[in-house]
Amino acid sequence: MSVCAISTNGAVEGGGAYFMISRTLGPEFGGSIGTLFFFANIVSSALCISGCVEGLMENFGPTGYLKPDLIQEGRWWGFLYCTCLNILNLLVCLIGASMFAKTTVFILILVCGCLGIMFFSFLYEGPRQVQIPFSNKNLTNGTIPVFANYTGLRGSTLHDNWWPQYAKDYTANDELVTFSTVFGVLFSGVTGIMAGANMSGELKNPGKSIPWGTLSAVGFTFLVYLGCSVLVSATCTAYLLQNNYLFLTGVSIWPASVAIGLLTATWSAALSNVIGGSRVLEALAKDNVFGSALNFITRGTWKGNPVAAVVVSAVLVQFVLLIGSLNLIAQLNSVLFLLSYLATNLACLGLELAGAPNFRPTFMFFSWHTALIGLLGTLIMMMVISPIYASCSILLCLLLVVFLHLFSPSKEADWGSISQALIFHQVRKYLLLLDIRKDHVKFWRPQVLLLVNSPRTACPLIDFINDLKKGGLYVLGHVEVQEGEMIEKPQGNEAEQGENEEAKVDPTVTQTIHWLNLVDHLKVKAFVELTVADNVRTGMQHLVRLSGMGAMKPNTVILGFLDKDDPTDFLSTHWSAYYNEDFENDVFPIRSQKSVSPLEYVQMMGDVLRMKKNLCLCRNFSKLKKDVKSVRTKKYIDVWPVNFLNPGESDAFDTTSLFMLQLACIVNMVPLWSRLKLRVRLCEGGQSQGTLEVESHPAQAVVTYR
């Protein structure tokens, strides 16, 4: 359902499941899942080749069930046969997708014919004795044949086979078969549901072909498997099923049809996985997921066929064939495919829960319920099949995510990441839960709006206020002064007015990008708010009133001090810790004349206080030194609790004094400034000439007069 939903949500290019996942979850998750999905196809191809060769040797080997002594048997003989079949797959895939399509159509006809013969045999044949193959060393010694019962259609046989009866696997060193083993092998027979999606680049209309092709294939496969399971359970005894994996040959009215169906079906699946995996690898190379390491894949293309990707896929299949054990390969194959299905369901579930407007699949049978059921089901079955393989594959996927996030060139790709949609959804939800009416003084924290004229001259101040925010809101505000330009009406006729309006671009549109780059360069956790106004005072009023959102509104406004000192360009000065050559002089220009008069500056202070905001004035931060750790002498943070706006009040515990002490304590909590001692200086009135000095220590307070 999830595959059908993604494929009908927009254009689907080559790469199939990888393309759909990467364009939904982003390059990091998409690249990691795509890599594992590529290896899943490789392992699946090796599994199918091993199954084909195993059936070949069981039927035509020295102890062959159909025609003995036709071929040699043994581990390395089997590896040789696997190699030959892998080379045959390589040759078919090198010719191209058209040859693959013709081959699979021919194989489909053969397999369907063999299935028809098998179903007819179950209904036609009566009770008989079926020989146990000589390869089963547990029951035979290679000379005296042993037989098991085939009962024909009987309700009693179906009843006896209704419950599981696990036994030893005579082909795997007598290891006890478990549910996970059976599921791992059986699941490998249905991993082809992604085969159509993998060929998305060769489909004329993927949005239509993938859903209906996938569902019809799954439905047909389900009916065939269900019919086979019921007929086998109603005709074969458990003893026969446990000790003869080729029992169908002894039941069929034409025994050779079973061998033909077995060999062609497994070969077709191996071929499908090789060509599908090569398309996934090609998509990974085109998306530059691993940088220049896969450049040869994109260059090695001939007439639209990724020749290099096909060769690499075939070589990797050859390495997997060295494992040898069919059941071991089957479990690994199932876990890797389940992981890719988990990622597909996760992508659809995330998009559905985030309510992303761009996620509107036309496939009508999808909902978040189906995605959740699929996600939980795949996760549970991964653990059931093999907890070790499942845990290792998930860990490997997460490591790939971290690696691609740090080093992959594709992380800059503009595909859109579901993480942003989910973050937006959660932030919006919790912002609505924040209620300004429930604020309490115990949980007060500074929500700072720092008004900046030119960040070139204010880098130390911006950096310091980042330490002051204590996990609160931090907004960098800037007013772009354009006297009259934003409110003038263009002159002339309507056509000229339209052209003038299109020519005008709000300056904040382009400047916002520069400001965000500055935030990244300074490594501060701040938002950016820009506005355009006729003068700084009007723009400041806009910023104070409108900055923030919901309960996340600034409660403290910080202004730079109005003085006549020459500004320092910290972004262009080589000795500065904030130097960056990427910020050219035309970015954040330093104004040649003061944009605020002393009267307007005082009026701005009054505006802030009338809006019931805390006001801070900052001066001389261009001289701030942050290398306090290298200084061995005792340093202090001096606090003068004086109400400069109402000097007549001498109370050291009024709101202004407590606010200053609170800010000083917050600064002292920052690791960089934690070595400094907090020192409070109180100015005495006319009765005493001097100051009261209070030094704060971790466990005591020392008060001295001088």
pLDDT tens digits, one per residue of 35-93 = 888 888 898 898 889 888 888 888 888 877 778 888 888 888 888 999 999 999 999 88
Q: Domains in the chain, please, with CATH?
A: 2-418 (1.20.1740.10), 439-624 (3.40.50.620), 629-706 (no CATH)
* Terminal-residue alpha carbon distance, the chain: 80
Report the pLDDT averaged over residues 192-200.
69
Q: Which amino acid is at 68?
A: P
Q: Within 13 Å of residue 71, how many CA atoms lie on the same side as its CB?
A: 19
**In which region does residue 580 sit, left (phi positive, over 0), alpha (psi from -120 to 50) or beta (all else)?**
beta
Spell out the residues 6+ positions from residue 508 whose beta carbon is closer than 8 angstroms to its own: 480, 530, 531, 532
Higher pLDDT, 274 or 98: 274
Give the pLDDT confidence score for residue 185 in this predicted structure: 73
Q: How sure is the predictor about 430, in pLDDT bands with cuts at 50, 70 and 90?
A: confident
Of 598, 618, 603, 518, the closest CA to residue 558 belongs to 618
**Which residues in 482-613 belong to E strands, given as ranges?**
527-533, 556-560
Give the pLDDT confidence score for residue 419 in this predicted structure: 73
Whether 145 has a pLDDT exceeding 90, the answer reads no
CA separation, residue 323 to residues 46, 82, 320, 331 (Å): 9, 12, 6, 12
Give the pLDDT confidence score for residue 572 in this predicted structure: 86
C-alpha 225/C-alpha 219 separation (Å) is: 10
C-alpha 338/C-alpha 378 separation (Å) is: 6
Q: Which amino acid is at 434?
A: L
Report the Cα 505 to chain-centroid distance in Å: 36
- What mean pLDDT value characterizes the chain? 82
C-alpha 562/C-alpha 536 separation (Å) is: 13
558-567: pLDDT as tens digits: 999 888 878 8
pTM score of the predicted model:
0.68
**Lowest model confidence (mean pLDDT) among 109-113, 535-539, 686-690:** 686-690
CA-based torsion, 227, 229, 230, 236: positive or negative: positive
Spell out the residues 6+ positions from residue 552 whose beta carbon is closer than 8 angstroms to its own: 431, 434, 447, 473
C-alpha 444/C-alpha 435 separation (Å) is: 14
3-class DSSP string for 418-458: HHHHHHHHHHHHHHHHCCHHHCCHHHCCCCEEEECCCHHHC
327-375: pLDDT as tens digits: 667 777 788 888 888 888 888 888 788 777 777 888 888 888 999 999 9
Give the pLDDT confidence score for residue 616 in this predicted structure: 92
